[in-house]
């Protein structure tokens, strides 16, 4: 690799020319080259030049027993390409890692999971997998853009916190213009993709969520503790985005079940995180509820209250015909479990109890989404059924209508209508209405 080759020779080849250690130091100090590619420790200070009769002309350095081949003073074309190729690979790895951390890829994938769940729930009985993939791709790009802008605005605050000081911008591995260019490009591309492949409602929700997260929630974190509730709104929009993308932009009461679960779930999740990292948040200059709560009971009470708000969501999903009764039971048990962890944190507000509630919240969301997908119910219309089932239903309806017509024809047939009733029938009905009407028995 590049580091080993840098330590083996005092002369470096770059695009066919000899690159001296002094010029390599100049290249290393350039702001366009990341520190991880050319570390100063790998650059030798000086090295004596070899005479033409030096054994290095034979291809090996003297006094070395490991047999590492030195670079010849007359390089071959293959030797010239190796450093540039190595540099390109290391540069790609460097920026790939930086963009991965800048976009908070794992958090963005969680956002994609909630959006995908909303898409499946809004699809009815038939799921368009191509549309699902386009929706997930657009959501991922918009989420990456929002997270990148969040780090651009908080670069100074992140440098003061132990948890975030190693991010690409505070650590100097990337520049702010590079992060802004990345965030702008993927944000616009993701919104355009949703508008072109799904509908304008989904694209509008994505764009509004990006603005709300980057330009409202992010600065509000340094102003007032209400930022937690604004952030909960941001987290509740992606499943609604997925539902709108699948249903053609139609929003109903059923579409609010999963967003409501995301909203109420985020409060105990972030309350636990804010209490565990309260000293770090104070060092970063953020205004969190846990910083003004010396005992921790108020933070725990807010978490417990929102856990209780999660209880009726399973029953509402069952009552509105969105899921079966099994989901109602499973959701109730799951919500009581996270509420129990919040109550334990309220009784004993310690970091250990907050960590347990945090872990319980991490388990709650994937189980809830998996349960509602597993037990979901849809009202299947004729348009949503496969063509074979539609033809079978039409055949059955046609057979039923033909049977009804045949029975009517038998009752109103020519034989029945041509038969003349007995005169007593007319005399019995009109003059004496209190007498029962005569019955006729005809063999059809």
* pLDDT per position as a tens digit, 3-17: 444 444 343 334 444
How far is residue 67's CA from residue 52's CA, in Å, rounded to a whole number? 20
Give the pair of three-digit tokens for residue 350. 């310690």
CB–CB of 149/176 below 8 Å?
no
| Token code pair at residue 159 | 């440098």
What is the pTM assigned to this prediction?
0.68
CB 153 within 8 A of CB 141: no
Q: How many degrees, rounded to 5, is the angle at CA 70 between CA 67 and CA 75?
A: 140
Q: For the chain, give me the number of helices (H) and strands (E)?
A: 19, 2
The span from the CA of 137 to the CA of 120, in Å, is: 15
Asked whether the predicted pLDDT for residue 389 surpasses 70, the reply is no
CA-nearest of 219, 213, 273 to 238 is 213
Task: Decide if pLDDT at 54 tops 90.
Answer: no
Mean pLDDT of 31-42: 44
Lowest mean pLDDT among 29-33, 45-49, 189-193, 432-436: 45-49
With bands split at pLDDT 50, 70 and 90, how would you rate the model's confidence at 62? very low
pLDDT band at 87 (very low <50, low <70, confident <90, very high): confident
List, for residues 182-222, the tens digit of each pLDDT value: 999 999 999 999 999 999 999 999 999 999 999 999 999 99
Residue, of 402 and 117, whose pLDDT is higher: 117
The helix (run of H) or strand (run of E) holding residue 13 is strand 12-14
Domains of the chain: 2-97 (no CATH), 106-378 (1.10.357.140)
Structure-block tokens of residue 88 = 């390109």
Banded pLDDT at 396 (limits 50, 70, 90): low
Q: Please check whether residue 210 is in contact with residue 146, taking contact to mean a CB–CB distance below 8 angstroms.
A: yes
Q: What's the pLDDT tens digit per position in 278-301?
A: 999 999 999 999 998 989 999 999
> Which tokens in the block code for residue 356?
């347990």
Average pLDDT estimate for 163-174? 92
Kindly report the average pLDDT of the chain as a whole number. 79
pLDDT at 399 over 90: no
For the segment 123-140, the average pLDDT, to the nearest whole number, is 94
Cα–Cα dist 178/91, whole Å: 14
Residue range 240-254: average pLDDT? 93
pLDDT above 50 for 25: no
Question: Cα–Cα distance between 237 and 260 in angstroms, integer?
Answer: 10
**Would you place residue 52 in the very low, low, confident or very high pLDDT band (cuts 50, 70, 90)?**
very low
Rounded to whole angstroms, how far apart are CA atoms 144 and 249? 23
Q: Which residue has the higher pLDDT, 188 or 32?
A: 188
Q: Token pair 């509602």 is at which residue? A: 372
């Amino acid at each position: 690799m590049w580091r080993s080759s840098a330590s083996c020779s005092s002369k470096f080849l770059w695009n066919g020319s000899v690159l001296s250690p002094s010029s390599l130091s100049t290249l290393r100090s350039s702001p366009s080259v990341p520190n991880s590619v050319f570390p100063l420790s790998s650059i030798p200070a000086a090295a004596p030049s070899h005479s033409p009769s030096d054994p290095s002309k034979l291809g090996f350095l003297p006094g070395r027993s490991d047999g590492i081949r030195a670079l010849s003073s007359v390089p071959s074309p293959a030797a010239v390409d190796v450093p540039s190729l190595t540099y390109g690979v290391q540069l790609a790895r460097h920026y790939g890692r930086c963009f991965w951390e800048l976009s908070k890829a794992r958090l963005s994938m969680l956002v994609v999971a909630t959006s995908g769940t909303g898409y499946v729930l809004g699809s009815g009985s038939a799921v368009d997998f191509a549309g699902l993939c386009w929706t997930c791709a657009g959501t991922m790009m918009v989420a990456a853009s929002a997270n990148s802008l969040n780090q651009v605005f908080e670069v100074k605050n992140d440098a003061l916190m132990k948890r975030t000081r190693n991010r690409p911008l505070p650590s100097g591995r990337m520049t702010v213009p590079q992060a802004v260019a990345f965030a702008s490009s993927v944000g616009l591309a993701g919104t355009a993709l949703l508008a072109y492949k799904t509908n304008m409602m989904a694209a509008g929700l994505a764009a509004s969520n990006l603005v709300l997260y980057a330009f409202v929630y992010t600065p509000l974190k340094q102003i007032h503790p209400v930022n937690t509730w604004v952030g909960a709104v941001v987290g509740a929009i992606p499943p609604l985005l997925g539902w709108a993308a699948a249903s053609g932009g139609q929003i109903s009461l059923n579409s609010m079940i999963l967003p409501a679960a995301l909203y109420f779930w985020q409060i105990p999740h972030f309350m636990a995180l804010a209490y565990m990292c309260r000293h770090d948040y104070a060092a970063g200059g953020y205004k969190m509820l846990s910083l003004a709560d010396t005992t921790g009971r108020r933070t725990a009470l807010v978490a417990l209250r929102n856990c209780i708000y999660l209880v009726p969501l399973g029953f509402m999903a069952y009552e509105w015909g969105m899921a079966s009764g099994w989901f109602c039971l499973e959701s109730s048990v799951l919500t009581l479990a996270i509420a129990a962890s919040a109550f334990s944190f309220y009784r004993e507000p310690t970091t250990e109890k907050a960590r347990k509630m945090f872990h319980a919240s991490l388990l709650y969301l994937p189980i809830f989404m998996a349960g509602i997908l597993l037990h979901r119910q849809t009202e299947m219309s004729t348009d949503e059924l496969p063509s074979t089932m539609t033809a079978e239903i039409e055949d059955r309806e046609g057979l039923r209508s033909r049977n009804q017509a045949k029975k009517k024809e038998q009752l109103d047939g020519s034989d029945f209508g041509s038969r003349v009733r007995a005169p007593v029938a007319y005399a019995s009905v009109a003059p004496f209405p209190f007498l029962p009407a005569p019955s006729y028995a005809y063999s059809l």
